[in-house]
């Protein structure tokens, strides 16, 4: 069965401009930041793929490319069997109905001049021909799904609490019956006691509506809870991909191991394995021969400067590493 | 720091809301000064509209018997060199002095903000070209530009409106462009795109209203400036031509007579200009508060 | 052994346009010399305000209505501004929350630190520079001479945080207040900063008041924990005790609501919502969210009751009224 979303060889470079690059450009080079450098993954219907990584890894850029907010430099994105990188106009709008996004900052993602009702009804206005009464009915349905009080729909964003605003965002995303929702750090800006509630909401919505999620987050624990499969990104590439249980039980890539071991566990007696990378995340403008982690990896060897193989170390578990 | 904490502490709890009208009225009444100013503008407009019927004398009718009379019971603000009643002239002049600045400001606002919005949203070379044109226009001092254009195309009311509008367009254009540059980076702009809005809706329905409020305040201030520009043009003879009355032109006529002691001819039109500009500024402040949805709950 | 810090019956209110906000309600906690105490709570819990109160920086519209803050035996709230300045930044230092905006962007990192030596110890410029260099080394900066020359916008998040820590340590304070030191940092960088704090505390004997909402951070870094909810302190305990046998219903709910990577858990969100501090519930502020709420919870504020060694809870389910729940 074809997956709902298939991404292959996605690349996005941002050209560097400015005085420092003139010398290079005169030489004929085109200095650029390769924010996403060959990313491939697939999401099946009703499945959640978690995309984990730290700042600068390119996960947000992947999301923006998927939704065509920015244009990929190269690569293919097939959604429901159709190649969407070349679409525009009406066809792109149709795709946008089916592929939605929930943003990180619930306040910034809402137009301060529109109340909740108008915000949530907008996708309905844009994609369907509905009468005012039909829209109202759908609005009530959606508002009930996300557990937002019906009496709150006339309020403006500044009159709602953080959790309520995020629910409005979620309601807007599911109003037009999408099949895939990209969740870009949806709980990072929320209080701890709200987070679990929103995560459970996502879980419920997935079960009831058959949604697929691309769940982007730096909060590894949340990803573990919600995702069926997880991909770890570093400096524009996926370094490891596996189903959730395998990845957390037996991480292979040194970066994954370092990342997981850095997450502070809420258990004072926890003595997990601690793998430390030296240095800090390097500048994304560098180009790489071989493995991007070489300069920081405690297990690095001479052979790591060669192009890195994408190996399957266990069924469904792939790693981008010489040592796997 | 402590204020941030206080704000955060109670910001979490959602505030109760009134109906839109009740909150509008409450905020309207709260700013007393702006309220008074607003009423004064309404009064001025009414006076301007009813001018021909309110003026005690025919403003253009000379009266050889009542030349250069100081303020008296018969002629409350005195008469001019032709015996025309000052008060009537000031009242009749209010039509021009309110109409021209208002229409030219409105025109400049609409044109400037539209181009500014599109230019700011689009960016790229379109934006660059527009900005260079704006730079060129702004290189001229506004009044010099107004003088030049008026001298070139003549000083009918329509032409004056256009000229004053042209000198103001760059201001609104730049301001809205700056707002647009900031606003288009906001997450809700991106959300509007991913939800499926076509570009025109993103620009005009989502972004534009959020950029526009600062321009309202600017426009009311600028209306004051437009009054001054018109008066100055008329003062030097390029604006409204006699026998039509206009405050600036009246000041000009009375200026030479100040030396011989006829103080009322320049003073009263001058006060008229002062009051008009002042109340426009006050209304601008009040309008800004009124238009901000974030102030709704307060 | 005398406590380093004793906060007793602290009540802080803020007069805002929207009304009176009762930010802190009878807060009590203590700290010993050299220990790391975690102050845990969500937004509106009052943890940041408590820290600011210790530094004597509650200004209008905030006011302290009651209570005392004893540092090394002296009540800081009774001191004049001049006297307080001898403590602030010297014996009690703070690393504020948003490290990016807390550093003066037009002053180089080296100068930010060396100035402190010049001001507080009257060093010469050269001597101050040397001490700054040592300090940067102490906080684990990879290339101290280079870092000295850089300006804040040229520093990464982790480096900024290290510079802030260096600035705080310049005067060898007895108490270091770290307000959300890892928020906004990448996981791996955050882990290193926490390790640095643990390390420094051991080496220099500085006590650390660590303010955070992240229970994981607390578990890995702190020796004791104080949990706050809506301006009330609900539980204090040694860290192991808190995680093994949390007593207060809020603490228990909080622990159960966090997703974890080490074990499989069923997520249970904390019930209810954070109460408004403008019209806070009478008595115990958790009662509208608490599954064990009793009649008395509405009328009286719970007193601190001991439930274990060094483990205190403010809840009517313990202490004299101990009958139901637990």
Comparing C-alpha atoms, which of C11, C29, C32 is closest to residue C21? C11
C262, C266, C275: which to substitute to probe chain A, counting the most A Cβ within 10 Å? C262
Contact assignment for B3 to C61 by CB distance below 8 Å? yes
**Chain centre to alpha carbon of residue B192:** 33
The Cα of A64 is separated from the nearest Cα of chain C by a number of Å equal to 21
**For residue C83, is it left (φ>0), alpha (ψ between -120 and 50) or beta?**
alpha
**For residue C309, is it left (φ>0), alpha (ψ between -120 and 50) or beta?**
beta
List of chain B residues whose C-beta atoms are within 8 Å of the C-beta of residue C44? 8-9, 12
pLDDT < 50: residue spans in chain A: none
Q: What is the pLDDT of residue B30?
A: 66
Show which subunits contact B, needing at least 3 CB pairs below 8 angstroms.
A, C
Question: What is the rounded distance in angstroms from the CA atom of residue C263 to the CA atom of residue C64?
Answer: 43
* C47: DSSP letter: H
On whether both C190 and C271 belong to a single domain, the answer is yes
**Which backbone phi and psi does B235 adopt, to 5 degrees?**
-60, -45
More confident: B237 or C29: C29
**Of A103, A126, A156, which is closest to B293 when you measure between CB atoms?**
A156
Give the count of beta carbons closer than 10 Å to the beta carbon of residue A35.
23
- How does pLDDT run across C60-105, given as a tens digit for each residue? 888 899 999 999 988 998 888 888 888 888 899 999 887 778 889 8
Name residue A314's beta-bridge partners.
A317
Question: What is the rounded distance in angstroms from the CA atom of residue B143 to the CA atom of residue B229?
Answer: 7
Beta-carbon contacts below 8 Å between A and C: 114
Helices (H) and strands (E) in chain A, counts: 10, 12
CA torsion, ordered C110, C113, C115, C121, to nearest 10 deg: -130
Q: What is the pLDDT of residue B26?
A: 62
Contact assignment for B15 to C277 by CB distance below 8 Å? no
3-state secondary structure of A208: helix
Residue B80: pLDDT over 90: no
On whether both C236 and C166 belong to a single domain, the answer is no
Q: What is the DSSP secondary-structure string of B47-65?
A: HHHTHHHH-SS-TT---GG
* C270: DSSP letter: P
The β-bridge relationship of strands C19-31 and A237-243 is: unpaired
Question: What is the rounded distance in angstroms from the CA atom of residue B195 to the CA atom of residue A172?
Answer: 8
**Of B9, B12, B13, which is closest to C23 when you measure between CB atoms?**
B9
Comparing C-alpha atoms, which of C239, C163, C258, C37 is closest to residue A263? C258
Average pLDDT value over all residues in chain B: 83
Contact assignment for A105 to B193 by CB distance below 8 Å? no
Show which of C140, C170, C200 is a domain's final residue: C170
On whether both C263 and C177 belong to a single domain, the answer is yes
Residue B15: pLDDT over 60: no
3-state secondary structure of B221: helix
- Spatial CB neighbours of C190, under 8 Å, sequence gap ≥ 6: A262, A264, C182, C217
Structural domain includes residue C52: yes
Q: What's the pTM value of the predicted model, to 2 decimals? A: 0.83
On whether both C76 and C131 belong to a single domain, the answer is no
Structural domain includes residue C308: yes
**Of B13, B17, B187, which is closest to A108 when you measure between CB atoms?**
B187
On whether both C250 and C137 belong to a single domain, the answer is no
Query: Taking a C-beta distance cutoff of 8 angstroms, is the pair B227, B273 a contact?
Result: yes
Per-residue burial over C4-31, b if 16 or more Cβ lie within 10 Å, else e, is bbbbeebbbbbebebeebbbbbbbbbbb
Query: Which residue of chain A has the CA closest to C238?
Result: A268
pLDDT < 70: residue spans in chain C: 1, 319-326
As for how many domains chain C has, the answer is 2
Distances (CA, A) of C223 to B24, B255, C48, C207: 54, 85, 19, 11
The Cα of C48 is separated from the nearest Cα of chain B by a number of Å equal to 8
On whether both C79 and C198 belong to a single domain, the answer is yes
Cis peptide before B96, with omega less than 30 degrees from 0? no
Query: Taking the CA of residue C10 as centre, how many other CA atoms within 13 Å lie in the half-sphere pointing to its CB?
Result: 31
Q: What is the DSSP secondary-structure string of B115-150?
A: HHHHHHHH-HHHHHHHHHHHHHHHHS-HHHHHHHHH
Query: Which residue of chain C has the CA closest to B9?
Result: C44
Contact assignment for B206 to A101 by CB distance below 8 Å? no
Query: Taking a C-beta distance cutoff of 8 angstroms, is the pair A38, A235 a contact?
Result: no
Asked if C257 has any chain A CB less than 8 Å from its own CB, the reply is: yes
Show which of C150, C170, C190 is a domain's final residue: C170
Query: Taking a C-beta distance cutoff of 8 angstroms, is the pair C4, C71 a contact?
Result: yes
Question: What is the rounded distance in angstroms from the CA atom of residue A4 to the CA atom of residue A45?
Answer: 5
Asked if C123 has any chain A CB less than 8 Å from its own CB, the reply is: no
Q: What is the pLDDT of residue A276?
A: 80
User: What is the longest distance spanned by two Cα atoms in chain A?
Assistant: 68
On whether both C55 and C188 belong to a single domain, the answer is yes
Name residue C209's beta-bridge partners.
C37, C177
Asked if A295 has any chain C CB less than 8 Å from its own CB, the reply is: no
Taking any CB pair shorter than 8 Å as contact, residues of chain A touching chain B are 67, 69, 93, 96-97, 100-101, 103-105, 108-113, 122-123, 126-127, 152, 154-156, 158-162, 164, 169, 172, 176
Structural domain includes residue C97: no
On whether both C178 and C239 belong to a single domain, the answer is yes
List of chain C residues whose C-beta atoms are within 8 Å of the C-beta of residue A268? 219-220, 239-240, 243
Q: What is the pLDDT of residue A1?
A: 72
Question: What is the rounded distance in angstroms from the CA atom of residue A196 to the CA atom of residue A213?
Answer: 17
Asked if A272 has any chain C CB less than 8 Å from its own CB, the reply is: yes
Question: What is the rounded distance in angstroms from the CA atom of residue A116 to the CA atom of residue A102?
Answer: 15
Sign of torsion over alpha carbons B150, B152, B153, B155:
positive
Structural domain includes residue C272: yes
**For residue C56, is it left (φ>0), alpha (ψ between -120 and 50) or beta?**
left
Query: Taking a C-beta distance cutoff of 8 angstroms, is the pair A109, A160 a contact?
Result: no
On whether both C184 and C268 belong to a single domain, the answer is yes
Comparing C-alpha atoms, which of A296, B2, A56, A270 is closest to residue C185? A56
Contact assignment for A196 to C273 by CB distance below 8 Å? no
Per-residue burial over B8-47, b if 16 or more Cβ lie within 10 Å, else e, is ebbbbbbbebeeeeebeeebeeebeebeebbebbeebeeb
Which domain CATH number covers C224? 3.40.50.300
Sign of torsion over alpha carbons C316, C318, C320, C322:
positive
Full residue range of the structural domain in which residue C139 is found? 102-170
**For residue A234, is it left (φ>0), alpha (ψ between -120 and 50) or beta?**
beta
Q: What is the pLDDT of residue B27?
A: 63
* A285: DSSP letter: T
**Of C157, C215, C273, which is closest to A266 when you measure between CB atoms?**
C215
On whether both C67 and C190 belong to a single domain, the answer is yes
Structural domain includes residue C179: yes
Structural domain includes residue C96: no
- How does pLDDT run across B136-157, given as a tens digit for each residue? 999 999 889 999 999 999 888 8
Q: What is the pLDDT of residue B289?
A: 72
* C245: DSSP letter: S
Asked if A188 has any chain C CB less than 8 Å from its own CB, the reply is: no
Comparing C-alpha atoms, which of A216, A245, A224 is closest to residue A51? A216
Beta strands in chain A (DSSP E): 5-15, 32-43, 48-52, 74-79, 82-83, 99-102, 180-184, 212-217, 229-234, 237-243, 310-314, 317-320
List of chain A residues whose C-beta atoms are within 8 Å of the C-beta of residue B206? 111
Beta strands in C82-185 (DSSP E): 92-95, 175-179
Show which of C149, C170, C191 is a domain's final residue: C170
List of chain C residues whose C-beta atoms are within 8 Å of the C-beta of residue A224? 259-261
On whether both C207 and C320 belong to a single domain, the answer is yes
| Global ipTM | 0.86
List of chain C residues whose C-beta atoms are within 8 Å of the C-beta of residue B10? 16, 18-19, 21, 276-278
Taking any CB pair shorter than 8 Å as contact, residues of chain C touching chain B are 14, 16-19, 21, 23, 43-44, 48-49, 52, 57-62, 274-278
3-state secondary structure of A308: coil
- How does pLDDT run across B240-290, given as a tens digit for each residue? 877 778 888 888 888 888 888 888 888 888 898 898 888 888 887 777 777
- How does pLDDT run across A249-281, given as a tens digit for each residue? 999 999 999 999 888 888 888 766 778 887 777
On whether both C274 and C225 belong to a single domain, the answer is yes
Asked if A227 has any chain C CB less than 8 Å from its own CB, the reply is: no
């Amino acid at each position: 069965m074809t997956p709902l979303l298939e991404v292959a060889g996605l690349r996005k470079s941002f050209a560097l401009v400015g005085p420092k690059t003139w010398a290079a450009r005169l030489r004929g080079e085109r200095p650029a930041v390769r924010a996403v450098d060959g990313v491939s993954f697939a999401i099946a219907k009703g499945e959640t793929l978690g995309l984990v990584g730290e700042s600068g890894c390119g996960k947000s850029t992947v999301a923006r490319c998927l939704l065509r907010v920015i244009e990929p430099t190269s690569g293919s994105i097939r959604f429901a069997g159709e190649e969407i990188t070349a679409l525009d106009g009406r066809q792109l709008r149709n795709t946008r109905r089916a592929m939605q996004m929930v943003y990180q900052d619930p306040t910034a993602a809402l137009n301060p001049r529109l109340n909740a009702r108008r915000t949530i009804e907008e996708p309905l206005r844009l994609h369907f021909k509905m009468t005012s009464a039909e829209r109202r009915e759908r609005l009530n349905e959606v508002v009930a799904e996300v557990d937002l009080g019906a009496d709150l729909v006339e309020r403006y964003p500044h009159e709602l609490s953080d959790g309520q605003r995020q629910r409005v965002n979620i309601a807007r995303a599911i109003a037009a019956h999408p099949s895939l929702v990209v969740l870009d750090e949806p709980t990072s800006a929320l209080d701890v006691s709200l987070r679990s509630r929103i995560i459970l909401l996502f879980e419920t919505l997935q079960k009831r509506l058959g949604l697929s999620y691309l769940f982007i987050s730096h909060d590894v624990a949340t990803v573990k809870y919600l995702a069926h499969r997880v991909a770890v990104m570093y400096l524009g590439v996926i370094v490891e991909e596996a189903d959730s249980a395998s990845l957390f039980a037996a991480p292979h890539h040194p970066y994954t191991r370092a990342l997981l071991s850095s997450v502070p566990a809420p258990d004072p007696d926890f003595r997990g394995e601690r793998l430390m990378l030296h240095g800090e995340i390097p500048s994304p403008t560098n180009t790489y021969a071989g493995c991007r982690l070489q300069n920081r990896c405690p297990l690095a060897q001479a052979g790591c400067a060669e192009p890195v193989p994408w190996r399957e170390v266990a069924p469904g578990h792939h790693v981008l590493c010489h040592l796997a | 720091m402590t204020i941030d904490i206080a704000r955060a502490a109670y910001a979490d709890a959602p505030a109760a809301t009134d109906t839109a009208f009740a909150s509008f009225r409450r905020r309207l009444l709260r700013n007393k000064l702006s309220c008074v100013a607003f009423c004064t503008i309404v009064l001025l407009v009414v006076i301007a509209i009813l001018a021909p019927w309110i003026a005690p004398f025919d403003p253009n009718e000379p009266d050889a018997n009542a030349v250069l009379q100081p303020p008296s019971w018969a002629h409350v603000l005195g008469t001019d060199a032709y015996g025309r009643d000052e008060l009537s002239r000031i009242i009749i002049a209010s039509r021009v002095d309110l109409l021209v600045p208002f229409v030219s400001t409105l025109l400049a606002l609409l044109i400037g903000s539209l181009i500014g919005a599109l230019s700011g949203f689009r960016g790229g070379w379109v934006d660059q070209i527009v900005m260079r044109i704006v730079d060129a226009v702004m290189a001229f001092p506004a009044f010099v530009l107004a003088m030049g254009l008026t001298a070139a195309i003549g000083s009918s009311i329509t032409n004056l409106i256009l000229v004053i509008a042209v000198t103001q367009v760059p201001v609104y254009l730049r301001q809205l462009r700056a707002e647009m540059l900031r606003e288009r980076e906001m997450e809700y702009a991106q959300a509007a795109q991913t939800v499926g809005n076509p570009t025109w809706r993103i620009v005009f329905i989502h972004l534009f209203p959020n950029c526009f409020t600062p321009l309202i305040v600017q426009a009311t201030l600028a209306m004051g400036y437009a009054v001054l520009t018109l008066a100055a043009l008329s003062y030097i003879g390029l604006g409204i031509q006699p026998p039509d009355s206009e405050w600036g032109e009246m000041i000009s006529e009375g200026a030479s007579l100040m030396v011989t002691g006829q103080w009322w001819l320049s003073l009263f039109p001058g006060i008229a200009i002062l009051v008009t500009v002042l109340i426009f500024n006050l209304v601008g402040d009040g309008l800004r508060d009124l238009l901000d949805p974030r102030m709704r709950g307060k | 052994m005398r406590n380093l810090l004793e906060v007793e019956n602290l009540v802080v209110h803020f007069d805002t346009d929207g009304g009176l906000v009762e930010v802190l309600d009878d807060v009590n906690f203590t700290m010993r010399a050299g220990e790391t105490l975690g102050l845990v709570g969500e937004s509106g819990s009052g943890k940041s305000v408590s820290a600011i109160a210790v530094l004597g920086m509650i200004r209008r519209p905030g006011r302290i209505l009651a209570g005392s803050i004893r540092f090394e035996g002296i009540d800081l709230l009774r001191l004049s501004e001049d006297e307080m300045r001898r403590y602030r930044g010297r014996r009690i230092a703070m690393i504020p929350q948003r490290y990016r905006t807390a550093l003066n962007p037009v002053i180089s990192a080296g100068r930010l630190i060396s100035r402190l030596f010049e001001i507080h110890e009257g060093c010469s410029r050269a001597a101050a520079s040397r001490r700054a260099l040592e300090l940067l080394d102490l906080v684990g900066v990879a290339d101290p001479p280079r870092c000295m020359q850089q300006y804040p916008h040229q520093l990464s998040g982790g480096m900024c945080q290290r510079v802030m820590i260096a600035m705080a340590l310049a005067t060898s304070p007895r108490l270091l207040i770290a307000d959300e030191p890892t928020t906004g940092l990448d996981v791996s960088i955050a882990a290193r900063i926490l390790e640095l704090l643990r390390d420094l505390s051991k080496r220099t004997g500085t006590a650390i008041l660590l303010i955070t909402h992240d229970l994981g951070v607390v578990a890995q870094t702190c020796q004791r924990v104080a949990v706050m909810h809506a301006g009330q302190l609900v539980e204090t305990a040694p860290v192991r005790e808190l995680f093994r046998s949390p007593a207060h219903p809020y603490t228990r709910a909080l622990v159960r609501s966090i997703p974890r990577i080490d074990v499989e858990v069923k997520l249970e969100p904390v019930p209810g919502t954070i109460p408004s501090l403008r019209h806070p519930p009478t008595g115990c502020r958790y009662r509208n969210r608490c599954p064990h709420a009793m009649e008395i919870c509405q009328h009286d504020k719970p007193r601190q009751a001991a439930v274990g060694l060094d483990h205190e809870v403010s809840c009517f389910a313990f202490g004299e009224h101990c009958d139901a729940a637990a």
